[in-house]
Chains A and B, each alone.
Chain A
């Protein structure tokens, strides 16, 4: 349902993404791994139009993003973002809203869902990520793990067809990582399409169906997760995984 074709992204004279082509099927859980600076975050941000790009195209459902930023993509951008949710490494919860307020904000004001209905839905979503008891808490009153789970619930509230997650656990204390991974595992089991940038090889191997290795702006390895992680073909992948296991 997401097609990436020859995607190129340049910062000044540095090529960050150097012709990425890939397609992601509905229901697929994909792990995006690779060394720091390989372009993982940039790719993810291009997929929902937070970042403009310089060549190629991104197609989500029937909507196509092309180079040229917001000007060139005005209509498509809006629809793509509603179809593809995003969860940030730093959560980015709305600081002036409670957990529930964060979750219902977009349904009420973008989709115009009646408040009562959105609230009911929001509470159900918070329950799903195990935060029923934190509905009224403000972001600064919550732990990182709680905030990340609220961020996931907030993205889910827009009924996205796919979810993009950028290192959802890397900013968390080790003891909080599990609670977020559990939620992601449950979502994967429910058949949600997910593209997850991660350094958690256990998660990549056990939960994701497919793993992509990004290096220097290119996909250097792409295959079923167990195969890629247990028997990497590319020497750089081996180096990267070796480092990671140490």
Chain B
């Protein structure tokens, strides 16, 4: 026990050392010496930002690729793309993996306090979309009060919607519009580039209006301020020369808003950056949110297990005692669900089947996790049933019991006792796997942690608290499993 506490304390200490820039000062000299400007982005953001052009052998394409090349040329170096998950662009920038983050990084107060921004290279509108047949959505934030509105977590639009609407956070750009068509949300608020590509082509949807202007800028580490100044100058040159406009036109995203880029002044820059938000302090309100997230995690896992246990039992019995056809189906179920990622299963259940059955996110999460874990439970019970001596079944049959009755009264109770430690361990695993359901917009403990980490500009405390909460939930279960195992070993 004592040792465990030490491990925990150590983990918290490591976590609370905020990832700071490893490299200090002289960013420009460093880039020049290396001869490359390393820029971080995520090709999963897709067209028109940075993507692999399937028609040209997967060549890196997109208006940001051209922008990076132009800027590198201005600095007299070569541009080198570094692939990185979008949601982790800023922490990875801070670690020093690349020189700049250049991939639709929006200027938000949270980020202003954390990184340096160049002047913008694109001005976007936060575009509100709704269903064509739903006139109740108006082009004002106020009209969204209390409605379900989809967006991407921690984006500019997310900040606008907070404290106004019931925000449904997505992790991909296509899913918010799919769900809007399905009626799972009332509106979607996202950057106009995203809306134009993924929302507007859908005939069921309409553009309600643009609610606010936002900016894409290049983000750098605070220590690299000279590199920021050099990039600002380079940007000013390619903006003035008309090269930026040509790049944007090439991607079909140039509009009147972009004319402001040409006349951009220091005052504009100051206004854009605003007063650097002082960064929220990690406080009781966050702890309360974490508590709510933990509750969702616990509820979700418990309900999923309540589904997995009987379903798994049915599968195991069908596999061992069912008629051949049923036995094969049960076997196929187990192999299919164990052999494919849960993430994919959740995706298919929530988005793939939406035209047929429209589950809400929590039901889909419970069903998806439950059906997945049922496959594992089935194997646990199968092992348990096979570990009950044959004589038990024979004794029951010889007393005139039918096979189902013998199973129910004699074999399964004993098999269940044998399986109980494994079932408990599976529940612990499920607690942690449940964090995957954030892909279908359920905000559970881990998702809450990532959202809060952005708000307070640090992963340390939220990470430690999140770990502590998972630990608090799983450790007693782990003790229980140990005790059950010990009891089993004794009898």
Contact = CB atoms under 8 A, between A and B. Distances in A.
Interface of A: 48, 50, 78, 81-82, 85-86, 88, 90, 92-96, 105-106, 109-111, 140, 151, 154-155, 158
10 contacts: A81-B399, A86-B395, A88-B394, A93-B395, A95-B414, A96-B413, A96-B414, A105-B409, A106-B400, A110-B400
B399 A105 contact: yes
Contact of A88 (B395, B405, B491): B395
A78 B409 contact: no
A86 B394 CA distance: 10
B135 interface: no
A158 B391 CA distance: 19
A48 B397 CA distance: 9
A82 B397 contact: no
Contacts of A88: 391, 394-395, 398
Given A92-B389, A94-B395, A158-B400, 16 more contacts: A78-B402, A82-B400, A85-B398, A88-B391, A88-B398, A92-B395, A95-B392, A95-B414, A96-B413, A96-B414, A96-B417, A109-B401, A110-B399, A110-B405, A155-B399, A158-B399
B269 to A, nearest CB: 76
Nearest to A80: B400
B410 interface: yes
A95 B405 CA distance: 16
A105 to B, nearest CB: 7
Interface in B412-451: 413-414, 417
Contact of A78 (B395, B400, B417): B400
B357 to A, nearest CB: 39
B399 A50 contact: no
B401 A106 contact: yes
Nearest to B408: A109
A78 B394 CA distance: 13
B399 A106 contact: yes
A90 B491 CA distance: 18
Contacts of B413: 96
Interface residues of B, number: 19
Contacts, number: 57
Contacts of B399: 81, 85, 105-106, 110, 154-155, 158
B195 to A, nearest CB: 62
Contacts of B397: 50, 81
Nearest to B403: A70
Main secondary structure of the interface of B (DSSP, over half): helix
Contact of A92 (B391, B400, B405): B391
A140 B417 CA distance: 15
Contacts of A158: 399-400
A69 to B, nearest CB: 12
Contacts of A109: 401, 405, 409
Residue among A48, A85, A88, A94 with max Cβ neighbours from chain B (10 Å) = A94
B81 to A, nearest CB: 63
A157 to B, nearest CB: 8
Nearest to B491: A140
A88 B393 CA distance: 12
Interface of B: 389, 391-392, 394-402, 405, 409-410, 413-414, 417, 491
Residue among A78, A88, A90, A110 with max Cβ neighbours from chain B (10 Å) = A110
Nearest to A94: B410
Nearest to B391: A92
Contacts of B402: 78
A87 to B, nearest CB: 9
Residue among A88, A92, A154, A155 with max Cβ neighbours from chain B (10 Å) = A92
Contact of B392 (A82, A86, A92, A151): A92
Contacts of B391: 88, 90, 92
Contacts of B398: 48, 50, 81, 85-86, 88, 155
Contacts of B401: 106, 109-110
A50 B389 CA distance: 15
B415 to A, nearest CB: 10
A50 B405 contact: no
A92 B417 contact: no
A110 B414 CA distance: 19
A235 to B, nearest CB: 36
A88 to B, nearest CB: 6
A139 to B, nearest CB: 10
A85 B396 CA distance: 11
Nearest to B410: A94
Contacts of A92: 389, 391-392, 394-395
Please list the 9 inter-chain residue pairs (A to B) with the smallest Cβ-Cβ separation, ordered nearest first: A92-B391, A86-B398, A106-B399, A92-B395, A82-B400, A81-B400, A110-B400, A96-B414, A96-B413
B217 to A, nearest CB: 68
Residue among B400, B401, B405 with max Cβ neighbours from chain A (10 Å) = B400
B413 to A, nearest CB: 5
A151 to B, nearest CB: 8
Residue among B395, B410, B414 with max Cβ neighbours from chain A (10 Å) = B395
A82 B401 CA distance: 9
A193 B102 CA distance: 91
Contacts of B414: 95-96
Nearest to A70: B403
A86 B392 CA distance: 13
B266 to A, nearest CB: 81
B317 to A, nearest CB: 17
